[in-house]
Amino acid sequence: MPVRLHLDEGRVPVEVYTSEVDPKTLEQLTNIASLPIVHSHVAAMPDVHFGIGATVGSVIPTRGAIIPAAVGVDIGCGMNAVRLSLRAEDLPDTLKRLRSAVEKAVPVGFAEHREPSVRADNVRRVQQSLQPLVERHPGITKMMRSFERTMARQIGTLGGGNHFIELCLDEADRVWVMLHSGSRGIGNAIGRYFIALAKKDMLKHLSNLPDANLAYFTEGAEHFDDYVAAVQWAQDYAHYNRAHMLRLVLDAMRPLLPRFETQGEAIDCHHNYVEREHHFGADVYLTRKGAIRAGKDELGIIPGSMGVRSFIVRGLGNAASFQSCAHGAGRRMSRKQARREFSVDDLARQTKGVECRKDRGVLDEIPGAYKDIDEVMANQADLVTIEHTLKQVMCVKG
């Protein structure tokens, strides 16, 4: 499906891959497109919705500058998925013990491991790689309690909100493990610190911005290089967190399932990040806020909500989308609205057949709070092809 909406009220246009966009989101996209640093155009994915700072589901190419609030505070958040040698018939009739084993192995929500769950030398390498930046910016450590201890203990943890660990079956009844997480508390601290610093640095110019959250660092500015280094570190931490979490999940499952192996390399993709790329004749800093890279033949993961289907996709390398696609179903209502409009009984009905929490604590993650994933996929037929369709049978949430 081609671009559904074309917005031209900003300095550059916005190409939107859906017609289901509320007025607040359209205004936010126009604000981004009004910035002098944006190159060519802004692309909005089919799961686009209003966000803090910048629109979730937006792809923003900037020349010589980066907007910290567009990258956000969940730096490096993304997906990991791997197929196992198991089939549906290898799973037990009830998955409750399996879910309990995973929840015991992987701390969720605000919880963390009592002690680091990775080797001490790996923890030291992670800490030492950040040390020079922290020495230049001690304010980062003040945003996070017990900074070094928490950073070490949150490796291999899930977090809360829309983060999850799932056991899924594909179209051939083969078993997959899929998870969604990011850089945890340290990424949040880095994000908040540099967002505040960008606003401070642009204090004289904030009145010229359509939104103070769109404050940016320019190349050559005092803090630009440090922000780039910090974001790259957080993105690497997020990769490491997901990879280690996957190992913990598989180890927790092994005693309860027939012997199994993983089939090929795990698919891993960020969907909140910035990367140096070349598009429309220029080298740009491309920020994907709630979008994944969908380069030609690249594999990616697009999850639905906790009661519907998810997809393993192959990118088509579409130039107009900056070789990007949606990162999921995308919310159609706020968490507060979801808690008002739905009941625990609604949650139980919408997650029927899925072994998961069915209580008020996850009510804001009810499938009805999200857009129709099938419509999202139909709207990006020009961006990706579907390799596998996954249906979850177990879901762990914080």
Active site residues: 327
What are the angstrom distances between the C-alpha of 73 and each of 155, 243, 273, 340?
17, 20, 10, 27
CA gap 7, 26 in Å, rounded: 8
N residues, the chain: 398
- Beta bridge mates, 282: 279
Q: Say which residue the tokens 């969720």 belong to.
A: 108
CB–CB of 185/159 below 8 Å?
Answer: no
17 Cβ partners below 8 Å, 6+ apart? 1, 3, 4, 43, 44, 45, 46, 48, 321, 326, 379, 380, 383
The DSSP line for 222-246 is TTHHHHHHHHHHHHHHHHHHHHHHH
Q: Which tokens hold the place of 359?
A: 């209580």
What are the angstrom distances between the C-alpha of 7 and each of 12, 28, 320, 372?
9, 11, 14, 23
